[in-house]
Amino acid sequence: MGKHAQRIGGRELKRREYDESDVRIRPGKASRPRTKTRPQHLDAEAAMVVAVDRGRWGCVLDDDPEHRIVAMRARELGRTPIVVGDQVDLVGDISGKPDSLARIVRVAERRTVLRRTADDTDPFERIVVANAGQLFIVVALADPPPRTGFVERAMVAAYVGGLQPILCLTKHDLAAESEFAATFEDLDLTIVYGGVDDPLEPVLELLNGRLTALIGHSGVGKSTLVNRLVPDADRAVGVVSGVGKGRHTSTQSVALPLVEGGWVVDTPGVRSFGLAHITPDDVIGAFSDLADAIEDCPRGCTHLGPPADPECALDSLPGKQARVAAIRLLLNALNTNDPWFKGGQTTTI
């Protein structure tokens, strides 16, 4: 018998030799090749975020502030943070009808950002509002008493974030404002009165046509001011308890339209204003007339001046010492590691 043969029942059979043509390939599941190309959404509509609530964003079209749209974040954005004031692009159902839902497919680069942390040891930054041009720091002159530390910290966050801070004083019928306001006079800080008995015209002159964030402790009259500015806003108004803490009357940020154009962003009452994300160089860098000088400071300079920094370059600037001293108050508030620092001692709120 041959090498590849065997005898069965008197017959000689040859063993078959196999090659690759005999191998049967099982077809796989049909699949479309993956691609990194994403849709360009050339038909997307520009809008501004005016409210945020549990994974849904309230938006208004740029050319129609009365047209309110509810949107979700598109999958391609991942966990991209989207906050009140953000400029976004929308696709999908932008009719604004009940139960309709659009998609946010792009978030524009922010011009300004107001950030804070829970405290000075918290590394997690919270974006309060995006693209605001101004920050109204609402402070009551009495009941509850004003805290310079809070104002200084809010000013630091505004300057570093690119916003123009404005001090809005309320309840000045209960206390004189001269001593408190004088603390900030060398910073060229605009001061306006926004109490219930004060005329609104000076406030509206600063707000109309702009996006402005309002911030302040609970109980200082911020929601009362918002209700005067936007009568149909119906923001809740709280009372101040006997220990100086206000009841939180606004639980989330929301942008409200002004009659003459512009928006005010009412933010929840705060009990702390951490600045863990800000350094002394960030603060000085926000002042164009001082920013270049610190390049001559020694490494590690905190810019607080003697005795901590005997070689700080800010001390050699001619004609700027009053302004430098005022800015060092901001740096001192930043470096105390206490959101409620006031006059060399801490206070509780």
Q: Structure tokens of 220?
A: 């200082």
- Predicted local distance difference test score (pLDDT) of residue 333: 80
Alpha-helical segments (H) within the chain: 148-161, 178-182, 201-207, 222-229, 280-285, 288-291, 321-335
Residue 102 predicted with pLDDT over 50 = yes
Residue 4 predicted with pLDDT over 90 = no
> Could you report the per-residue pLDDT of 267-286, keeping only the tens digit for each?
876 666 778 878 889 999 98
> Could you report the per-residue pLDDT of 202-235, keeping only the tens digit for each?
999 999 999 999 998 888 888 889 999 998 776 5
- Predicted local distance difference test score (pLDDT) of residue 74: 93
Backbone φ, ψ for residue 242 (5° rounding): -70, -15
Contact 290, 327 (CB under 8 A): yes
| Nearest of 170, 181, 247 to residue 203 by alpha carbon | 170
- Predicted local distance difference test score (pLDDT) of residue 298: 92
Residue 92 predicted with pLDDT over 90 = yes
- For 133, half-sphere exposure in the C-beta direction (CA atoms, 13 angstrom radius) is 8
| Nearest of 273, 282, 280, 252 to residue 161 by alpha carbon | 282
Q: State what percent of residues in the chain have pLDDT above 70.
A: 76
Residue 347 predicted with pLDDT over 60 = no
Higher pLDDT, 1 or 294: 294
Residue 348 predicted with pLDDT over 60 = no
- Predicted local distance difference test score (pLDDT) of residue 112: 96
- Predicted local distance difference test score (pLDDT) of residue 171: 84
Higher pLDDT, 275 or 190: 190
Residue 10 predicted with pLDDT over 80 = no
**Residue 88's beta-bridge partner residues?**
47, 107
Residue 78 predicted with pLDDT over 60 = yes
Mean of the pLDDT values across residues 249-267?
A: 83
Residue 34 predicted with pLDDT over 70 = no
Measured between alpha carbons, how far is residue 46 from residues 86, 89, 95, 317 in Å?
A: 11, 5, 14, 46
Backbone φ, ψ for residue 44 (5° rounding): -65, 145
Among 6-15, 136-145, 172-181, name the most confident range.
Answer: 136-145
pTM of this prediction?
0.77
Q: Which residue pairs from 122-127 have beta carbons closer than 8 angstroms and sit at least 24 positions apart in sequence? A: 122/274, 122/276, 123/276, 123/277, 125/276, 125/277, 127/81, 127/83
Separation between Cα atoms, residue 97 and residue 10, nearest integer Å: 88
Report the mean per-residue pLDDT for the chain. 81
Q: Structure tokens of 304?
A: 């607080």
Q: Using the Cα atoms of residue 253, residue 254, residue 257 and residue 263 in order, give the sign of their dihedral.
A: positive
Mean of the pLDDT values across residues 252-269?
A: 88
Separation between Cα atoms, residue 119 and residue 123, nearest integer Å: 9
- Predicted local distance difference test score (pLDDT) of residue 122: 67
If you write DSSP's letter for every residue of 271-309 in order, what string do you get?
S--B-TT--HHHHHHT-HHHHTGGGGSPTT--S--TTT-
Mean of the pLDDT values across residues 192-207?
A: 93
Band of the pLDDT at 18, cuts 50, 70, 90?
low
